[in-house]
Amino acid sequence: MQYKIMLVEHDRLMLEQLSKVIETAPDMELAARFQSSGDALGQGKVFNPNIILFDTDVEGATEKLREFTGAFPHAAIICTGEKWLADKTSHYIQAGASGYLIKPFTYNSLREALMTYAQSGMQLDSKVITFFSPKGKSGKTTVISNLAIALSRMTGERVGIIDADLQFGDMAVFFNLEPQSTIVEAARDARFLSPLDLRSYFTKVTDKVSVLCGTKKPSLIDRVSISNLEAVIKMAKAAFKYVLVDVPPGFNPTSIAAAEMSDYTYVMAMLNGGYEIKHVQRSLDVFEAWDDFEDRVRVVFTRVVPCNKEAQEKISDAIDYDVDVLVPNAYMMVSKAADNGQMALDLEPEGQFAGSINSLADIIIHQNDTGRGAKW
Ligand X SMILES: Nc1ncnc2c1ncn2[C@@H]1O[C@H](COP(=O)(O)OP(=O)(O)O)[C@@H](O)[C@H]1O
**Site residues for Mg ion per CB under 5 A:** 141
When CB distances are held under 5 to 8 angstroms depending on the partner's kind, the choice from Mg ion, ligand X, none that residue 20 binds is: none
Is 133 a binding residue for ligand X by CB under 6 A? The answer is yes
Our CB check for Mg ion shows the closer of 174 and 202 to be 174
Our CB check for ligand X shows the closer of 104 and 250 to be 250
CB atoms within 10 A of CB 339: 8
Our CB check for ligand X shows the closer of 142 and 210 to be 142
Is 334 a binding residue for ligand X by CB under 6 A? The answer is yes
Our CB check for Mg ion shows the closer of 119 and 141 to be 141
H or E, element range at 326: strand 325-328
Is 331 a binding residue for ligand X by CB under 6 A? The answer is yes
Which positions from 171 through 210 interact with ligand X, judged by CB under 6 A?
A: none
Q: CB–CB of 161/179 below 8 Å?
A: no
* Shortest distance, position 163 Cβ to Mg ion, whole Å: 8
How far CA 2 is from CA of 18, 99, 158, 356, in Å, comes to 18, 19, 20, 37
* Shortest distance, position 291 Cβ to ligand X, whole Å: 28
H or E, element range at 14: helix 12-23
Pairing of strands 159-163, 127-132: unpaired
- Residue at shortest CB range from Mg ion: 141
Interface segment toward ligand X; rule CB under 6 A; list 1-9, 87-95, 96-104, 326-334 = 326-334
**Interatomic CA distance for residues 163 and 335, integer angstroms:** 20
When CB distances are held under 5 to 8 angstroms depending on the partner's kind, the choice from Mg ion, ligand X, none that residue 208 binds is: none
Is 136 a binding residue for ligand X by CB under 6 A? The answer is yes
Is 248 a binding residue for ligand X by CB under 6 A? The answer is no
b/e 120-150 (16+ beta carbons within 10 angstroms → b): bbeeeebbbbbbbbbeeebbbbbbbbbbbbb
Among 152, 329, 360, 361, binds ligand X (CB under 6 A): 329
Binding footprint of ligand X, residue count (CB under 6 A): 16
Cβ-defined contacts of 105-109 (< 8 Å, 24+): 105/18, 105/21, 105/80, 106/21, 107/21, 107/24, 107/25
* Shortest distance, position 246 Cβ to Mg ion, whole Å: 6
Alpha helices in 309-374 (DSSP H): 309-319, 331-340, 344-347, 352-366
Among 103, 127, 140, 199, binds ligand X (CB under 6 A): 140
Q: CB–CB of 255/248 below 8 Å?
A: yes
**Interatomic CA distance for residues 358 and 360, integer angstroms:** 5
Our CB check for ligand X shows the closer of 18 and 334 to be 334
Among 80, 141, 152, 358, binds ligand X (CB under 6 A): 141
Among 32, 327, 345, 361, binds ligand X (CB under 6 A): 327
Q: CB–CB of 281/319 below 8 Å?
A: yes
Cβ-defined contacts of 340-345 (< 8 Å, 24+): 341/176, 343/145, 343/146, 343/149, 344/142, 344/146, 345/146, 345/149, 345/150
* Shortest distance, position 128 Cβ to ligand X, whole Å: 18
Our CB check for Mg ion shows the closer of 141 and 146 to be 141
Is 169 a binding residue for ligand X by CB under 6 A? The answer is no
Q: What angle do CA 8, 10, 15 make, to 5 degrees?
A: 70
Contacts of 108 (CB under 8 A, 6+ apart): none
Which positions from 297 through 316 interact with ligand X, judged by CB under 6 A?
A: 302-303
Our CB check for Mg ion shows the closer of 141 and 215 to be 141
Amino acid of residue 153: R
When CB distances are held under 5 to 8 angstroms depending on the partner's kind, the choice from Mg ion, ligand X, none that residue 331 binds is: ligand X
Is 147 a binding residue for ligand X by CB under 6 A? The answer is no
Interface segment toward ligand X; rule CB under 6 A; list 84-92, 218-226, 329-337, 367-375 = 329-337
| Contacting residues toward ligand X, per CB under 6 A | 133, 136-142, 302-303, 327, 329-331, 334-335
